[in-house]
Amino acid sequence: MYCSHSWCIISWISAILPRLHLVSILFYDCCSIFFFLCPCVYLLQAWAFVVQYILNMLFFSGI
């Protein structure tokens, strides 16, 4: 099912950006409420956190 809810997409995008991580947490509850309407949320967020982790490893490994 296509994730058409804007708050789910906002949550996924904000999960990638560390500065908007708090926003991601706030939107996460909204997404979990609509889990059955938007089942791809958790997959998108899991992927977003993996990407964020990889980016953090790349940026901070040289420091």
- pLDDT per position as a tens digit, 10-55: 666 665 665 555 555 555 555 555 554 555 556 667 777 788 888 8
In this predicted structure, what is the pLDDT of residue 54?
Answer: 83
Under 8 Å between Cβ of 24 and 62: no
Q: For the whole model, what pTM was predicted?
A: 0.36
Binned at pLDDT 50, 70 and 90, residue 8 comes out as low
In this predicted structure, what is the pLDDT of residue 42?
Answer: 64
Domains of the chain, by residue range, sit at 6-60
Binned at pLDDT 50, 70 and 90, residue 3 comes out as very low
Report which DSSP code applies to 17. Answer: S
Q: How many Cα atoms are found within 13 Å in the side-chain-facing hemisphere of 9?
A: 5
